[in-house]
Amino acid sequence: MAGERDFHHIKRVVVKVGSSSIIYPTGRPNLSQMEQLARQLADLHNQGKEVLLVTSGAIGVGQHRLGYTRRPRTIPEKQAAAAVGQGMLMHMYDKFFGEYGIAVGQILLTREDFSDRRRFLNARNTMYTLLRQGVVPVINENDTVAVEEIKLGDNDNLAALVATLVDAELLVLLSDIAGLYDADPRKDSGARLIAEVHEITPELEALSGGAGTPVGTGGIVTKLQAARIAMHAGIVTVLASSSEKDVVRRVVAGEPLGTVFWPCSRLEKKKCWIAYSSTVHGRIYVDEGAARALLENGKSLLPSGIIRVEGSFEMGNTVSICDPAGKEIARGIVNYSSAEVERIKGLQTREIARVLGHKDYDEVVHRNNLVLDI
């Protein structure tokens, strides 16, 4: 598959559009861009493909309607702008898609909808039902209720999580840049487009910058994060410019637009959820021997290799597992609480029952609930 963009078999696609792509610097919606996007997605829908749209823009549209002269900075201001702007945004999408006889359904999500397994499955069932009914889900973060603790923070990562949620085959990230470059094209006229990525290396991550525009919250860094999630879920990701004529249709048709991120080793669904959707409740530090056992031999985490515990967590929570230097090497679901791990750290498995008065598991984290190299 690598080297040739053959997407004719794609059945389900998630398209993400950023604020700067559908909102003018004045804060007013770019109706032409929104109409063109709706037409392209409607055409894919008419071909029998299932399409989900992840859209930014609610805060940007709302801030103009509320008369803000700058992007809101406080959480209450952002929530007020989102409350006003989200309705306006959905009204416009409903109008544009409605012209092609297609219904849209609004879905607003927070991190808790992904980190809580039951809510995760409920959200997936809702999206599957909408798709079966021929509805195009229009998805955004629920900025009207989100606070820092439950915010996803940007819609690039939201789009990648949605793509894994519904088992999409293709994720298209539309932005105000034409793809991933070897330098910042806004500052370096000699910057070259990177056509393909097979692995997100530290060198690629070094190309990341901050948020790109006053109306956006993302940047290359969030797009690389999103691509990494999709790659590990077995999903092809294409980063392309929203201003390119018929960009979505042409990407799906296999034209070499933007940057394509090819899937790498695919994580099973449960491990993908552990790695990217679940909330990390604490840290477990392990010695060098345990780190090697995890990384090189695929072993479970036993209490004997644990040297330190941070945070408060319960059995069934997700924790970050770090080497002695503090680098995260894995993430997994624990079989014991933080208080219990604190008591049994450094001990042999046979000593667990004596110290705790019970032993439900030999492993603190079983390898089946462990994801390496996050």
- From residue 180, give the alpha-carbon distance in Å to each of 22, 239, 244: 20, 7, 15
- CA-wise closest residue to 283 among 362, 359, 353, 342: 342
By the 8 A CB rule, do 320 and 280 touch?
Answer: yes
How do beta strands 236-241 and 259-261 pair? antiparallel
Contacts of residue 366, Cβ cutoff 8 Å, sequence gap at least 6 = 300, 332, 335
Cα separation of 324 and 20, whole Å?
Answer: 42
Annotation: binding site: 16, 56, 143, 155, 175-176, 217-223
Annotation: binding site for substrate: 56, 143, 155
In one letter, which amino acid is 271?
Answer: K
- From residue 136, give the alpha-carbon distance in Å to each of 30, 97, 218, 243, 308: 20, 9, 24, 22, 48
Strand partners, 136: 104
Cα separation of 215 and 198, whole Å?
Answer: 31
Annotation: binding site for ATP: 16, 175-176, 217-223
DSSP letter at 152 equals: -
Q: Give CA 35 to chain center in angstroms.
A: 26
- With 0-12 / 13-18 / 19 or more C-beta atoms within 10 angstroms meaning exposed / middle / buried, residue 182 is middle
Cα separation of 174 and 242, whole Å?
Answer: 5
